[in-house]
Amino acid sequence: MVVDEAWTEMAVLFRALVYATVFVSLILVFLPARVLEWSGVSRVPGLGIAQIAGMIVGSIGALLALWCVVTFALIGRGTPAPYDTPRGLVVRGPYAYVRNPMYLGAATALAGAALFYESLPMLAYLIGFLLVTHAFVRLYEEPTLRRRFGLEYERYCEGVARWRPRRPG
């Protein structure tokens, strides 16, 4: 029985990491690379303050997003993918501080890239990402979670903000 649970947990974690890899590859690597290519940015001439700050900010965003993926897998027994969602409402880990930490992690990683490359087109991509994400959260995710989890989700929304992190309780 314990072995079966361990394998199930590993399978969920594997599915979550595969989804995260696809999401990161497309949204945080492939599309931003196209933006940089389109805007004529190919290389940074050297490492300066902006590049170091960009690496730090980008790393913080990537770590936050990874923490979210692992939390979904280990606590929620699911993935961030709409077709393989957690089995229960995830309100622990980074979700105790803000309702959408994965998107904030991705946005922070994009902000790090914009800083690193000192790129206004990358900043525009970040703004577009935030607008699309906000619309997706409001029009799809929140109504879906309300239908699925009802009062439990309503209480969660009352105590945890959508975008501005704050201390739990």
User: In terms of residue numbers, what domain contains 100?
Assistant: 2-159
pLDDT at residue 4 in the model: 67
The answer to whether residue 168 is domain-embedded is no
DSSP 163: S
- What pLDDT does 69 receive? 87
Is residue 164 a part of any domain in this protein?
Answer: no
Cβ neighbors of 38 (< 8 A, separation 6 or more) are: 121
Q: Is residue 50 part of a domain?
A: yes
pLDDT at residue 168, as a whole number: 74
* Domain assignment of residue 166, yes or no: no
Q: Is residue 165 part of a domain?
A: no
Written as six digits, the tokens of 44 are 């940074």
| Residue 104, domain member (yes or no) | yes
Q: Is residue 67 part of a domain?
A: yes
The total number of structural domains in the chain stands at: 1
Environment class of residue 24 by beta-carbon count within 10 Å: exposed (0-12), middle (13-18) or buried (19+)? middle
Is residue 25 situated within a structural domain? yes
Report the chain (169 residues): mean pLDDT per 10 consecutive residues: 63 71 71 81 81 93 91 82 81 95 95 92 95 97 94 96 88
Contacts of 79 (CB under 8 A, 6+ apart): 12, 15, 16, 19, 20, 69, 72, 73, 85, 86
Q: How many CB atoms lie within 10 A of CB 165?
A: 15
Interatomic CA distance for residues 105 and 66, integer angstroms:
8
